[in-house]
Structure 1
Amino acid sequence: MSQIIPDNLREIMIHNAQEVQNELEKDHQPVVRLHSKYGKVQWLLSELDEKNEIAYGLCDLGQGKPEIGYVSLLQLESIKHARLKVPMVEMDPDFEGLYPMSVYLKAAINHKAITIDAELLKAEIGR
């Protein structure tokens, strides 16, 4: 089991995935923000397949083309700094998803990167 996301947030993500599977909800707020310590790579994740440790959300590899997709938490945890051998991906403990994922997606597409800037996100509501 992946350790990058604490149990309380994992439970929310698992619940969100179950809602999607049961066609109860499709546009959750992101639950966690993961990011690279040494780059522009980041992920806003809202759902988790507990069995396979695959998360769903907004992925930004720092190339100006953020997209919705799936990512393996185990794979993210395995990425280590080449020299220092420390984990490269960490969770932002201060992140709070305030809008549905569709708002973050619109803002990311318009700004060519994931943003958590409140003003930029507010501007996307209703567009």
Structure 2
Amino acid sequence: MILLTPEIRAALRANDIARIDAVATGKREPDPVPVVRFFNPLGPATWLATELDPDGILFGLADLGFGCPELGSFALGELKALRLPFGLGIERDILFEGRHPLSVYAEAARRAGSLVLAEGMLKRAARSLRGGR
């Protein structure tokens, strides 16, 4: 599977450039909505990415399934190179649509101890705010 389409790559790069510009001009760093979600199809590891630097380093929220999701950097090349049993690799969630700033996902994941559990809680909360629809 192609982990980054040209459109996703462009959105990630735009977020990186916006952050660099904010730092350079003394503005508050943006809190972008995640652009892409990666996951291990055979395990609990999940990543949300908001930025991509020119060297292929992503920034976002990583949850390797040990109960301590954290914000940080991870290498696109390492995600691509990871080989799992049955010839599988890390996948891109083609249905993912970021709905909250990264800080919201990070705080919910920290409280839940899991990004996957946090995503479910955020969906339920949003549905409740819309009146159960």
More helix by share: 2
**Pair 1:75-2:75 in alignment:** no
Amino acid at match of 1:29: V
Out of 64, 69, 77, which is 1:66 matched to?
69
Higher Cα radius of gyration:
2
- C-alpha change, 1:122 and 1:44, in structure 2 (3 Å) is farther
Return closer, same or farther for 1:60/1:87 CA change in 2, 3 Å cut-off: same
CA RMSD of aligned residues (A): 1.8
For residue 5 of structure 2, what is the aligned residue in structure 1? 6
The yes-or-no answer on 1:113 pairing with 2:114 is: yes
Aligned-pair identity (%)? 31
| Residue aligned with 1:38, SS | coil
1:32 to 36, 57, 77: 36
1:87–1:27 CA distance, 2 compared to 1 (3 A) = same
CA distance in 2 between partners of 1:92 and 1:42 (Å): 10
Q: Match for residue 16 of structure 1? A: 15
Instruction: Give the whole-Å Cα distance in 2 for the aligned partners of 1:45 and 1:121.
Output: 21
Shift in Å at residue 7 of structure 1? 0.8
Compute the TM-score of the two structures, normalised by the length of structure 1.
Answer: 0.86
> Gaps spanning 5+ residues in structure 2: where?
129-133
TM-score of the superposition, structure 2-length normalised?
0.82
Task: Mark the CA change 1:73 to 1:34 in structure 2 (over 3 Å): closer, same or farther.
Answer: same
Segments of 4+ in structure 1 off by > 2 A? Answer: 119-123
- Alignment coverage as a number of residue pairs: 118
Post-superposition Cα deviations, 1:89-115, rounded to whole Å, max 9, x if no partner, equal 000000000110010011000100113
Unaligned runs of 5+ in 1: none
